[in-house]
Structure 1
Amino acid sequence: MAVKCPQVAVPASAPAPASSASSGPSGPSGPSAPFAVASASVVAVLAPVLVMFGIGLWGIDRGGMWRDEAVTFQVARRSLPQIWHLLHSVDAVHGLYYLLMHPVLAVHADEVALRLPSLCAAAVTAGLVAALGTRLARPRVGLWAGLLYAVTPMAGHFAQEGRSYALVAAGAAGSTLLLVRAVHAANSGEPRARVPARRVSAWCAYGGAVAVTVLLHELAVLILLAHAATLALARMPRRVWRGWARAAGAVLLVLLPLALVSSGQAGQVAWLRPPGGDTVESLLRAFTGPTQPVLGPYLLLIALALRAPLTRRGELSLPAVALPLLLLPPATLLAVSRHWPLYDDRYVLYALAGAPLLAAAGADRLLRTAARLRLPARHPRAPADAGGATPVPARDDRTAPARNAAPALPRAFRARYGAALLGVVAVGLAFVSQVSVLRADRDPARRPDNLAAVSAAAAERMSPGDPVLFLPAIGRRAAVAYPQGFRSARDVALREPGPVSGTLYGRETGPGELRRRLDGLDRLWVVAEPYALRPSWHPAEPTEQVKLAVVGEEFVPRAEFVRKGSVLRLYVRRPPAT
């Protein structure tokens, strides 16, 4: 049995399709049906928002930022001219996000405030996923899809990340919903004089949402590819393609200046490597759930959803919207990254929305198939009279309501809400099976480093006036994010701090001046990235070369304190040879 989805041409104010609001056991009937469907739709959208917000709020204050969050924290607190100065040399791809975070951290600058916009964006995304499922199928599908998104560990991870990725996911989900509405407006049967204005406003809203999304992160431009595939699967008429093409062209024009600037800063992603054989499996588990009890049923439900026809000509169905969103952005970025490494799972977080939509549609198809297979209840028939008519038993109007009132409410409740609650219970079981994953993700040790721990170690061991050398300069990020731990130390190599120099970590002195400063020191603290202490590391910058040469030739290590992602080592001058 195919998954029935309402035609996009049906006005939003019209009663829900028969699959969700028909009379009989499958839904409400009578004059109250539109109100019941509207109420169910509101609940279907709000419940995932609240669940996602609760999961994201759990453990949001981890007690430490990692390196990428620290960049957001220190850049967003600069003045607007200083942020603009920085973007000319580095991090232009995150420029809009820093500008949005500037007023947030101006009100209150701490780790919770840093992550709160991502948490709110993740909650909004869960609601938007639910709205897509409700509009393209029925309220219970939207409810299940939104809740599935909320309990997915990947969504919870980035809900607590002080970076732009959760906002990008919200923008992608919102633009997908606006695409559905724009297609509805383009296929509307309203009088010709009114249609153009609605079409223009709908496509403008869609284009504006996509433009903001790609300015938050330029790799989100792949959402246009997914939307084009959706229109192709639905075999949309030319008027729809014309509207979409104009909106997509405007988005690309808006993105062009950012793409040109960021292409000159490609060294920022030089650390990325071509994806390996396990990358696809890792992403699959991230999208559906890392635990086996969730992964297997999740994939089965997606397969059930895809067994139905994707769409009919001129209509948007849930599979036709969700499948390209789920597959095309990751697949395209993976293919490109085989030759030009750009792939990281956070860059395709927004594609996650397609997985719960498909799984919810598969669950809906499974339940409706099971309902069709149930045998109807058999009732004894009274013998017909001589005329062939079946006599109607006499009814006592005084006692009949009393006999029937008791089971009526439970039956109506089970018919209307039982299936939806069954799906909610299944999502709850998926959440329980992944609680350990969510709990572990709230441990600062799960991030690549913990700059708060590095700063605390420095504060505990450094004396006032102690010289400190950061190897390489990027190691200064702990001192930038948590300056209180290094307040008493003296930065030997620093010439200009980051805000003044328009850089992330400041501009260091030249090799000659640095050698002169190191000559008069008898002890030196070095805060190093682990790779910088390996013999295989050969920096290209002359200042970094001097650091390695002087420390290796003129000093010997006396003590070492290792923190995740950083090494704090005390050196003393090598005694003269006798």
Structure 2
Amino acid sequence: MWAVPGLVTLVVTLAGIGHAQPWRDELATWSAATRSVPDLGRLAGTIDAATGPYYLLMHGWTALFGTSPTALRLPSALAMAGAAALTARLGARLVGPRAGLLAGLLLAVLPSTSRYGQEARPYALAALLAVLATLLLVGALGRPTWRRWAGYALAVAALGLLHLIALTLLAAHALAVLLVVARGPGPAGIDSHAAGAGRRGLLWRWLVAVLPAVVLVAPLVLQARGQRGRQLDWVRLVRIDDLAALPGGLAQSGVAGGLLVGLAALGAARLGRRALLPGAAVLLPVLLLFAAGTAVPLWVTRYLFFTVPFACLLAGAALAGVRLAPALAVVTLAGLLGLPDQAALRRTHEWPRTAPVDYAGVARIVAEHEQPGDAIVYSPRQSWLFPDLGLAYHLGSRRPRDVLVVHDQRQRADLWAAECDRPAECLAGVDRVWLVVTGRRADPLAAVPGAKGDALRDGFTVRQVWPRPGLTVALLSR
């Protein structure tokens, strides 16, 4: 029952996994993962501490399997397959085998499953751990033993280390525990075998189980809090219309997201009190992040992807109320509705899909026309598009000398390099410069601001311009 959704998800996520070139967030993963462990510690002290444990995990992975797009994304594909399998297992535990099977299959065909199963970021791992922790909680509440609680504690700690926002799931877990303690066997679809006195001890056991996560995550939270201004400077305060856009964003397809919400609502109505745990696992993280996002810029749709398996569980419960053939037809329909988005995300991971950034195309142009002694300059240097990381990824050691850099990303313990204060002096002795600017520019030289732009315009002329999606590269000569 659980193996089929896992295998289907693995097949779906592996299909075309290396086609789309790494986008800016994946370039940040590559840049961090290929640093030494001490350098990773320094990076966490400067920026992106919240993602530091994931970078450490990927550091070990890339040391074994390399840094090709497929290698970088394979952990996410495996995690998504595991998430689908565990969603089916949790659905079988809370509702029944057919509901679990359909929930896992529905998760397998969503475009967002492919999107985050083919991305070198922690969202697929967070989904896996969120479902695992919930499944282990159900088991621990049903038959409380120290081994079950220890497993739950490990899963929660790993979840918090890999994705801080995913710890909002603990609000749903706390609600389930309180109901079992207060109302006895049966609430929230959990059959507890503990007696009255044993039930009263469940709350303390749960609190002890989440304590390691609190201890481990607290330093990350404190460090990440001070980095929020740099890390999330592109995020605005949440608005009410962001809630309306959430289903489509989480499913990576408006029509598939709408279908999922409709089925989940039907499933919640069919399950009654058994819908409490999966329903709370969807609603409470959304509401908590929304409330926080009204005061602090935190609302990013993909941060809530870990709630999608629980929505699929509710949808699977709705489909389990009909015969298997019509239910599978609905799952197939959901897959067909998402096909355009499935195809688009395998072309590019950028958003919107109509605005790709062709790092590989720029790299090919430079590689084909480069001569010994060439230099390369980027503008703007502090861009979140990471043009320098994109060229470094695709060209490796074969790229021209980054002539303006005085401290690179590793030396600065940052994702951006520092450039010299006197560009004209740093450019002395260079006869040819490759200029890479973000966006489509008819005159890329005119788009470079400040002293760097003055030095380039005073000392060089444009020989040729190659516009590429999202970037423009120009060859300059003295």
113, 137, 155: which is aligned to 2:113?
155
TM-score, normalised with respect to structure 2? 0.85
**C-alpha deviations, 1:11-52, integer Å up to 9, x for none?**
xxxxxxxxxxxxxxxxxxxxxxxxxxxxxxxxx200100110
Q: Which residue of 2 aligns with 1:441?
A: 345
CA contact (8 A) 1:64 1:453 kept: no
Pair 1:508-2:419 in alignment: yes
CA contact (8 A) 1:444 1:450 kept: no
CA contact (8 A) 1:233 1:320 kept: no
Q: What is the alpha-carbon distance in structure 2 between the residues aligned to residue 298 and residue 73 of structure 1? A: 33
**C-alpha deviations, 1:403-453, integer Å up to 9, x for none?**
xxxxxxxxxxxxxxxx33442232123212322221221113755533222
Q: Which residue of 1 aligns with 2:372?
A: 464
Q: What is the alpha-carbon distance in structure 2 between the residues aligned to residue 496 and residue 280 of structure 1? A: 42
470, 489, 494: which is aligned to 2:400?
489
Shift of 1:185: 2.3
433, 436, 440: which is aligned to 1:527?
436
Shift of 1:521: 5.0
Q: Which residue of 2 aligns with 1:272?
A: 235
SS at match of 2:316: helix
Shift of 1:456: 1.6
SS at match of 2:320: helix
SS at match of 1:101: helix
408, 420, 437: which is aligned to 2:324?
420
Q: Which residue of 2 aligns with 1:223?
A: 169
CA contact (8 A) 2:102 2:320 kept: no
Pair 1:66-2:23 in alignment: yes
**C-alpha deviations, 1:282-324, integer Å up to 9, x for none?**
32124457354x556544432322324642xxxxx2x111111
Matches within 5 A, 1:176-575: 176-186=134-144, 198=145, 200-232=146-178, 235=182, 238-266=200-228, 267-287=230-250, 290=253, 292=255, 294=256, 297-308=259-270, 310-311=272-273, 317=274, 319-365=275-321, 367=322, 419-444=323-348, 446=350, 448-473=356-381, 474-484=386-396, 487=398, 489-509=400-420, 511-512=421-422, 514-518=423-427, 521=430, 523-530=432-439, 545-551=450-456, 557-571=462-476
Q: How many residues are paired up?
A: 451
Q: What is the alpha-carbon distance in structure 1 between the residues aligned to residue 395 and residue 231 of structure 2? A: 24
Q: What is the alpha-carbon distance in structure 2 between the residues aligned to residue 456 and residue 229 of structure 1? A: 55
CA contact (8 A) 1:153 1:286 kept: no
SS at match of 2:474: strand
Shift of 1:518: 2.9
- The 1:222–1:455 alpha-carbon spacing in structure 2 relative to 1, beyond 3 Å, is same
Q: Which residue of 2 aligns with 1:38?
A: none
- The 1:277–1:550 alpha-carbon spacing in structure 2 relative to 1, beyond 3 Å, is farther
- The 1:534–1:147 alpha-carbon spacing in structure 2 relative to 1, beyond 3 Å, is farther
Q: What is the alpha-carbon distance in structure 2 between the residues aligned to residue 308 and residue 225 of structure 1? A: 23
SS at match of 2:289: helix
1:56 partner amino acid:
T
Q: Which residue of 1 aligns with 2:195?
A: none
Q: What is the alpha-carbon distance in structure 1 between the residues aligned to residue 441 and residue 220 of structure 2? A: 32
- The 1:286–1:271 alpha-carbon spacing in structure 2 relative to 1, beyond 3 Å, is closer
CA contact (8 A) 1:288 1:355 kept: no
Give unpaired runs (5+ residues) of structure 1: 1-43, 187-197, 312-316, 368-418, 574-578
Q: What is the alpha-carbon distance in structure 1 between the residues aligned to residue 137 and residue 357 of structure 2? A: 40
- The 1:271–1:554 alpha-carbon spacing in structure 2 relative to 1, beyond 3 Å, is farther
Q: CA RMSD in A?
A: 2.9
CA contact (8 A) 2:270 2:317 kept: no
Is the deviation greater in 302-311 or in 55-64? Answer: 302-311
Q: Which has the larger radius of gyration?
A: 1
CA contact (8 A) 1:445 1:564 kept: no
CA contact (8 A) 1:498 1:505 kept: yes
- The 1:442–1:225 alpha-carbon spacing in structure 2 relative to 1, beyond 3 Å, is same
* Structure showing the higher helix proportion among its residues: 2
Q: What is the alpha-carbon distance in structure 2 between the residues aligned to residue 63 and residue 429 of structure 1? A: 25
Pair 1:116-2:74 in alignment: yes
User: Where in structure 1 do 4 or more consecutive aligned residues deviate above 6 Å?
Assistant: 531-535
SS at match of 1:444: coil
SS at match of 1:273: coil
CA contact (8 A) 1:56 1:159 kept: yes
Shift of 1:176: 0.8
% identical equivalent positions: 32
SS at match of 1:270: coil
CA contact (8 A) 2:172 2:284 kept: yes
